[in-house]
Each structure stands twice: as C-alpha cells, then as structure tokens.
Amino acid sequence: MSTQRSYTSPTGLAGLAMVVLLTGCAVGPDYKRPDVPLPAAYPGAAGGSATAQPAALAADWWKLYNDATLNDLVAGALQNNTDLHRAVAQIDEAQAVLDEASSTLFPELDLGASSSRSRSSTLNAQPLPSNVPVISNSNRLALSTSFELDFWGKLRRASQAARAQVLSSHYARDVIALSVAGTTTQSYFTLRALDAQIAVTRDILKSRDESLAVIKNRAASGLASDLDVNQAQVARADASLQLRDLQRQRALMEHQLGLLTGKLDLKVATGDVMTLPMPSLPPVGLPSTLLQRRPDVQQAEQALIAANAEIGVSRAAQFPTFSLTGDFGGQSAKLSNILKSGARIWSVGLNGLMPIFDAGKYAARTRQAEAVQRQAVAGYEKTVQTAFKDVADALTNVEQTNAAATDIQSKVKAARNVLRLSKLRYDAGYSAYLDVLDAQRTANSAELALVQNRQQQLIYSVDLMKALGGGWSANQAAPMARR
C-alpha cells in the first residue's frame, strides 16, 4: 500500500490568495450623496443673476478692490497665519493615516536573523545519543510574511475612510484660507472706515473749535450768553471724545490685522474707505452649484463618505478573517552554510478566524458606525442649508446697503444745508444756538453714516464672495481626489 502526498508551492498559495482577494465582496453600503432639496433660486436674487454654471471667482478675489496694501496684508495672512499652519499639519497627518491604511492591502515582508550556541545536559535520565554533540550551534536567516486577505472588503473600506479624511483635511484648509482672507479683507475695510470717520470727526472738531471761538467773541461783545458758550464747549468736548474713541478702535483693528498676518508690530498707513472701488460682483448661480464650489460643503461630504465606509469596516469584523503566512530562508549549524540548498527552509499557511460568541460586541460596533453615519448625513444637510442661507443673506445685505446709499447721500446733503441755514439764522439773531447744535449733531451723524454705509457695502461684498466659495472651484480639488 502506498501513500501519495501532495504539496502546494508557495506560488500556488499566493495565486489562490489573490483569487480569493479579488473575488471578495466589500460589505457595507456604497456611498450615495444625500438629496438635499433646495429652492430653485435665492430669495431676493436679481432677475437674470442666476446661471446654471458656477460663477468663476479668482483665487485672489481680494485684488478686485485694487488696493496694494490690502493685497500685501492678505498675502501675509495666507503665508503666516497659524491656523493655516495647523491645517497644513493636519493634512500631513491625514495623509500618513491613509498611507498606513493603504499598506494593509499588501503583504508585510520581514527579514529575521538569529544565531545561538547551546549546551545540552549529559546527566539527564535519557542520555544524549552518541552522534549528538553536547554543544551545538544554530544560525537562521529567513524572510517571513503575514497578509490578511481582504475577502469582505474591511481593509478597502478602511482605506476609503482614510482617503475621505485626507480630502476632508484639504477642504478644511480651503475653508480656513477663505475665512482668513475674508476676515483680513473685512478688517482692513473696517480700518479704512475708521480712518474716514477720524478724518470727518477731525473736521467736525475743527469746526467746533472755530464755533467756540466765535461764540466767546460774541459773548465778550454782549451778543451771546454764557449758555451759548457752555453749549459750544460741550459740543466741542463731544467731538474730541468721539475722535479719541475712533482712534482707540483703529489701534485695536490694527492689532487684529497684525495677529491675522503674523506681524504683531504691524503699522498700516492711513487711507480712506471712500476711495476703494466697489467691484462688480459675480452672478450667484443656481443654489445646487454650492455643492461643487463651497469647500465647507465638500468637507462635510467627505466626512459623510468616511462615516459610510466605517460601516463596512464594522460589518466585516463579524465575518471570518483569513490570513496568509509564510517563511523562506536557511538554517544551519555553521553560518557559512546558511545559504546552501541543503539549509533551505520554508513554510506556508492559510489561517482562518471567525467569531462564534461575542455577546453582541461586533453588532453593537456596527450600530455605532451606522449612528455616526446618520449624524454625518445631518451635518451635511445642515452645511448645505447654511450655505444657501449665507448666499441669501449676503444678497439681501448687498442689495439693501446699495439701495440705502442714495438715501444717505440725500440725507448728508440736506443736513449740510440745514447746518448752513441754522448758522445764518443764529448769526442774524432769529434762533437760539441750540438749533445750531442740533443741526451740527444731525450733520455729524449723516457724515458718519455715509462712511459706515460704504464700509458695509464693501464688507457685504466680501460676505457674498465667501458665501459663493470664492477662490475655490471643483477643478482645483485636493491632489488625493485625482489619484
């Protein structure tokens, strides 16, 4: 009677493993973008301003304001801002996590070497055979591998989740960059508005000084009372206090710009917000285009994709795990013989492990992953809805502040005329100085309101550019998206 033995080569087992791997299915739901219903157009959008394609916004959209100082400030902020530095480091971290997750799809190959010298006892109950030396040497050099077969797609789902996290970190950096550029631009406009208000208040203070001198002269001649003098002094003090407060606010805003740009000793020369041009704003496009051009929406979607893939990872843990192991090398008593054919050693193995009783642990993990995915869906939907609201709010603000500019200019013109007439009436003795003070306060308020309206127009234009995902477009997606 003869016994026939069958041997399987390492190459055959590796081929079988690859077949199992390639034919395996990936458990868990495949990703599908949630359907978030949006209105057909933005409320308050001007007729014809909505287009089917996303509006093109340059990455350096702040240059539309044609201000060299602003361009330098934003460039410095994008280069030196610590929040952006942190976002870049988070991208590197996410990329390393992806590289680690992707590496599990390939066998790990290790080289092991050992050398030992041992002595056996000669006083055992069973003596050593005569051909067995008391002192022996052993040298071993071998390659070993361990490879989990991704039959249920657990490793592939984990790699999908890590890839989504990388993309999410890229979009998070874009969100921060857009926010930094927008905040720097709006802070600069606020600084320029304060410059204009300071200039207006200085003119008012100069006028109050002149009025006070005139009133004192009139009082000395008996043409004005001490009441008029005191009222003029109060008006002059109010203007002086207002000027000091505006100068304080400007210093604080300059400190804010220094923090944003990473230059804590930043000094910005004075300017005038009224000289800054109002750029032509881009068409807003259809609400659905926000899904492609808003980086925060893309970030939320990648978080959802990662959560969706984690469900597959959790479900796959409930199924059997198969792994391939192997060794190949040499072992001999003499180190010089370790590479000879007679010293050759090898082994291959296919192991399987299946949970039989886990008290519901893996099922609970799956439910956790499903709950996290539902939270991500809600987060994505809220981000889309918030993006829609941001555009709608910006459109309303831009439209109303632009419309209010004409009314404010009319108010300034009328207030100046009232002030001129009230001074004439007071000089002619037809009215009290209190009428002049009221006219001065009205004119002062109107002049400042004109500056503030211009500031709001510029700031709301930045809000619209940010709401539209300014400087970001789908064809500038993170590098990992094209791999």
CATH number at residue 424: 1.20.1600.10
- Give the Å distances, CA to CA, from 180 to 183, 261, 288, 371: 5, 9, 25, 34
Q: Would residue 181 count as lying in a domain?
A: yes
Q: Would residue 83 count as lying in a domain?
A: yes
* Residue range 270-288, pLDDT digits in tens: 998 988 888 887 778 788 8
* Residue 472: predicted pLDDT: 52
Count of the separate structural domains present in the chain: 1
Q: Would residue 347 count as lying in a domain?
A: no
Q: What angle do CA 46, 65, 400 make, to 5 degrees?
A: 30
* Residue range 350-400, pLDDT digits in tens: 998 888 888 989 899 999 999 999 999 999 999 999 999 999 999 999 999
The residue behind tokens 């050759």 is: 344
CB 258 within 8 A of CB 24: no
Cross-strand bridge partners of residue 347: 327
Whether residue 293 is predicted with pLDDT greater than 70 in this model: the reply is: yes
* Residue 24: predicted pLDDT: 54
* Residue 299: predicted pLDDT: 94
* Residue range 195-205, pLDDT digits in tens: 999 999 999 99
- Give the Å distances, CA to CA, from 483 to 163, 167, 409, 477: 10, 11, 56, 11
Share of the chain above pLDDT 90, in %: 50
pLDDT-based confidence at residue 13 (cuts at 50, 70, 90):
very low
Note down the domain range covering 297.
22-106+153-320+364-482
Whether residue 20 is predicted with pLDDT greater than 60 in this model: the reply is: no
- Alpha-helical segments (H) within 81-153: 82-103
* Residue range 49-74, pLDDT digits in tens: 555 555 557 778 899 899 999 999 99
Sheet holding 135-149, edge to edge: 108-119, 135-149, 321-332, 344-353
* Cα–Cα distance for residue pair 315/157, rounded to 1 Å: 10
* Residue range 195-242, pLDDT digits in tens: 999 999 999 999 889 889 988 998 888 888 889 899 889 999 999 999
Burial class (CB in 10 A: 0-12, 13-18, 19+), 315: buried
* Cα–Cα distance for residue pair 301/291, rounded to 1 Å: 9
Q: Which of 209, 311, 277 is nearest to 64 (CA)?
A: 277
Q: Would residue 65 count as lying in a domain?
A: yes
Q: Would residue 46 count as lying in a domain?
A: yes
Whether residue 10 is predicted with pLDDT greater than 50 in this model: the reply is: no
Q: Would residue 53 count as lying in a domain?
A: yes
Q: Which of 37, 55, 45 is nearest to 469 (CA)?
A: 55
Q: Would residue 344 count as lying in a domain?
A: no
* Residue 7: predicted pLDDT: 38
Whether the full predicted model's pTM is greater than 0.75, yes or no, is yes
Pairing relationship of beta strands 321-332 and 344-353 according to DSSP bridges: antiparallel
Q: Would residue 345 count as lying in a domain?
A: no
